[in-house]
Structure 1
Amino acid sequence: MRATPLAVTALAAALLLTACDSGGSDDSNGTGKGGDACGIDQLGVEVGPANAAPAAGDTGNIPVSVTNQSSPCALDGFPGIELNAGDKSATVPAADGAKPEKLTLAKGDSVTFTLTYVRGGTSGAESLAAKTLRISMPGAGDDEKSFPWTYGPVALKGGEPDASVGPFTHAGD
């Protein structure tokens, strides 16, 4: 009879489709599912070298490299970025239209993200005289690392930094 081979074929197709999970990253490029959130204390973080904005109104880009120095962990979301000017601090938002991808890092794996900013003037309410860059990892609580900000004042737009942070990508992508 013809019904049995058709039923077997349909079942095989259904099982094959079930095995193809489109809801996450694949393991072909070192990413995958699972793992606890990467804590900043288990990561080596290097800021720069930067393509700093030379004058007010110019745009600068600061690459940040992150390397897992411990057991496998996951990055799911955007890095947390805060610029601190001593008496004032501001959170840098994610880049418009950017979509983060969940990445799992094995020990020794590296990823990067880019912080883009517009340089502000040397004084006034339209600039944040940032002194410190604070970086935290998504899903890892309040842990953060601080780095000196040596790229000049950051322009403000509506009281918020004219800056954005991009998603994590594997180093070399």
Structure 2
Amino acid sequence: MRALPIAVTVLAAALALTSCDGGGSGSSSGSGKSGDSAGSAKKAGVAACVIGDAGIQVGPANAATAAGDTGNIPVTLTNKGAQCTLKGFPGLSVQAGGTSADIAADKSAAPEQLTLAKGDTASFTITYVRGATGDAKTLAVKTLKIGLPGSDTTRSFPWSYGPLAGKGSASEPNASVTPFQHAGD
């Protein structure tokens, strides 16, 4: 009968040891992702998401209708490739003719690391102030360029939200972008 308590003790110890491998301590990136997804992604060597494997939908927007109004443009990214990770902010720039300007990251929200399986979605929001047509501090934007963290590759989308106000000049847009967030369920 003495063998049964020893076997139970060994089994309990084995279960305790295997449960130590699932927490957030496996990620040294300081990600805000709860559970073990971030740690598992790092252990499994999951690559960063690439824009060529993403379906991207820009809008529909809560567009600013008059100069000085603020608008919001949601952007949804769907992973169409293998499992991948996103962390940080998208790289955004706007173009008007030969002029290009970057959209700044909204640092009020801390980015978390997201692991996206094939078919999973993530989103971010662009907040902008509409400029006055013809104003020297306004950029008559025609194109939005979107890139993912860790890559210089971008995709272009038409900008149909009117001129973009500048903070001090047209080269510094009065706009910001949130970090990536899980979309859907």
State the TM-score bracket (shorter-chain normalisation): 0.7 to 0.9
- 1:37 maps to which residue? 48
1:68-110 CA-partner distances (Å, limit 9, x unpaired): 0010111111001100001211000011312111111100000
Aligned counterparts, 1:49-128, within 5 A: 49-128=60-139
Once residues 117 and 83 of structure 1 are traced to their aligned partners in structure 2, the CA distance between those partners, rounded to angstroms, is 12
Structure 1 residue 149: Cα displacement: 0.3
Name the amino acid aligned to 1:163: A
For the residues of structure 1 that align with 2:22 and 2:49, how far apart are their CA atoms?
27
**CA–CA separation in structure 2 for the residues paired with 1:40 and 1:103:** 15
Matched, 1:168 2:183: no
Structure 1 pair 17/172, CA: closer, same or farther in 2 (3 Å)?
same
Larger Rg belongs to: 2
Task: Look up the match of 1:20.
Answer: 23
Cα distance in 2 for partners of 1:171, 1:97 equals 19
**TM-score calculated relative to the size of structure 1:** 0.83
RMSD: 2.4
The count of aligned residue pairs is: 160
Comparing both structures, which one devotes a greater share of its residues to helix?
Answer: 2
Identity %: 54
Which runs of 5 or more structure 1 residues have no equivalent in the other structure?
A: 1-12
**Equivalent position SS for 1:157:** coil
